[in-house]
Structure 1
Amino acid sequence: MVPKPTLSTSIQPPPGPSAKLVLPSRDTSPNTNPTVFNDAMIIRKAVFIDEQHCTADAEIDSDDARSWHWVLYDDSAATPTPVGVIRLVPPPQAPHARLTEPPAAAGAQGAPEYDWTHEPCIKLTRVAIMPSFRGFGLGRRLVETALGWAAGHAAEIDEAAAQIAARGESPVTLTQWRGLVLVHAQVDVEGMYAGLGFATDHSLGRWNEEGIEHVGMFRRLVLDE
């Protein structure tokens, strides 16, 4: 563990559907990622792909272009170093069956891409801290940062959901986001989220993502006036 770092935080707004997002590479492959998003991907690649051996092809997904990221930087050196990341996915979310049912059933022809039948929720995902910076409560800090932002930016979250609905994919009248927050927590950090006010929804069961067991947890925010 390094000495307690001096930290700063940067936010990456949704890059948008036209963004060409790629995994950072040490070769000469073209990289047009926004700067903060690229720093987010440096961390995600190091933790999820290199350390946890998740599939590289699945690391950048359809949610990245429409999501917000926060990146923590260690400012101790002359050049800030990205050390932590969190992603906030606005409504709508994918149906839970895509995680718990066999791929052939969950992805059957005609199966919806998004869940429009339940109350809209935001989802916190891709929370990752570089190994040498663990033990300082940075995961908790990132969650609190994202939740604090969300509580004051409900209109932006609703607009992001409306953009998906405008593609003609919503079979119901779109409802406003009322502060519901979902996390798909790896079981070894379930306690951290419980300490942040999240409650495990046992009706969602447990499932494996990339060989790692997860649970679903919810919390409701009080939104700013």
Structure 2
Amino acid sequence: MEIKQSNQTSSAVYADAIMIRKAVFIKEQGIDPNLELDTVTPATWHYVLYDDQGHAVATARITPNDATTGHIQRVATLKTARGHGYAGALIKRLISDARTQGYQQLELGAQVTAQQFYAHLGFQAVGPIFMEAGLKHQAMQYTL
């Protein structure tokens, strides 16, 4: 297993992240491509986890809200690769990198169906459930 990252939209890492996001969010969950494939800046870092065979199987991204808070988004694992701990390993890497970069807090909007996954990693639910892209979400925070 290997985790690679890039903030360049011309990189192979970004292309692999988009491939996973299209498979999970657009094809599997039916999210409108115009909502899923948004504009990013070089401040956004895309992470992709590659399995032992070198296949891109999980992705996430982090964007700074400000100097002390990072926002995790687009966490996805290919359906055929679920149950192996890939997403957990990816989130732990993002937490570690955020700590190294001096962030004090991370936040994310978890699909309600994934809320327990994030809680297990130490994220705390905050605020009411909200709708995003036609799916119920819960804001969650992690204090570094």
Same fold, TM exceeding 0.5? yes
Could you say which residue in structure 1 is the equivalent of 2:80?
Answer: 132
**Which of these residues, 153, 159, 167, is aligned with residue 101 of structure 2?**
153
Correspondence list, 1:18-37, <5 A: 21=9, 33-37=10-14
Could you say which residue in structure 1 is the equivalent of 2:19?
Answer: 42
| Structure 2 unaligned regions, length at least 5 | none
Correspondence list, 1:1-225, <5 A: 7-12=1-6, 14-15=7-8, 21=9, 33-63=10-40, 65-76=42-53, 80-92=54-66, 120-154=68-102, 177=103, 179-202=104-127, 205-221=128-144
Matched residue type, 1:42: M
| Cα distance in 1 for residues equivalent to 2:42 and 2:17 | 13
SS in 2 for 1:41: helix
SS in 1 for 2:50: strand
Length, aligned pairs only? 144
Q: Is this contact kept in 1: 2:35–2:133, CA < 8 A?
A: no
| Cα distance in 2 for residues equivalent to 1:184 and 1:71 | 19
Superposition deviation, residue 53 in structure 1: 0.8
Superposition deviation, residue 11 in structure 1: 1.0
Superposition deviation, residue 63 in structure 1: 3.4
| Cα distance in 2 for residues equivalent to 1:191 and 1:67 | 25
| Cα distance in 2 for residues equivalent to 1:191 and 1:84 | 18
Superposition deviation, residue 72 in structure 1: 0.8
**TM-score computed with the length of structure 1 as normaliser:** 0.60
SS in 2 for 1:201: strand
Matched residue type, 1:187: V
Runs of 4+ in 1 over 4 A off after TM superposition: none
Matched residue type, 1:218: Q
| Structure 1 unaligned regions, length at least 5 | 1-6, 16-20, 22-32, 93-118, 155-176
Name the one with the larger strand percent: 2
Kindly provide the CA deviation profile for residues 160-189 of structure 1, in whole angstroms up to 9, marking residues without a partner as x. xxxxxxxxxxxxxxxxx5x11101001111
